[in-house]
Amino acid sequence: MITADDRAEIEQVIAAYGHIVDDNVWDRAHLVFADDFVFDFSDHGRPNLNGVAELRAALEGRKVYSHHSTNVAIFEGENGTVRVRSKFIGFPNEGPPISGDYRDEFVHTPAGWRLRRRRSSVRDPLFV
């Protein structure tokens, strides 16, 4: 069963993700990502990024002015799987603001809760 402390730690990991990515402080990635982390880009028609090294290579040159995560909802499955859904707002330097959803899977490691899998989907502002 997920405790209030677990929930607080998971929310802290989600917050730290935005700071690490926006500030390009990849030496702190171990505070967020599990060793077997996968960023699932299937909603974007792109291949997945497997591990922090691939994520870093994809994002390091991209400048995001600011990245915010909100509306965090944490769910525990019957088999102990912890899934998190949140919203994001991003302000990339190369285009207009974007928003969307994150669907995450977390795992508890000896170092604490870590992000194992993240799937993002961008919301289309023209779709009503």
Q: Would the CA dihedral through 83, 96, 25, 41 be positive or negative? A: positive
Strand-pair category, 33-40 with 112-122: parallel
Phi (first) and psi of residue 5, to 5 degrees: -65, -40
Single pTM value for the model: 0.87
Amino acid (1-letter code) at residue 70? T
Tokens describing residue 19: 């700071």
Averaged confidence pLDDT in the chain: 89
For 80-96, what is each residue's pLDDT tens digit? Answer: 889 999 999 988 777 78
64 pLDDT higher than 70: no
Rounded mean pLDDT, 86-112:
90
The full set of domains in the chain, from first to last, is: 4-122 (3.10.450.50)
Neighbour count for residue 50 (Cβ, 10 Å): 12
Which runs of E-coded beta strand occur in 1-128?
33-40, 49-50, 64-76, 82-92, 98-109, 112-122
Give burial (CB, 10 Å; 0-12/13-18/19+) of 126: exposed
Rounded mean pLDDT, 30-43:
93
Confidence of residue 59 (pLDDT cuts 50, 70, 90): confident
Share of the chain above pLDDT 70, in %: 92
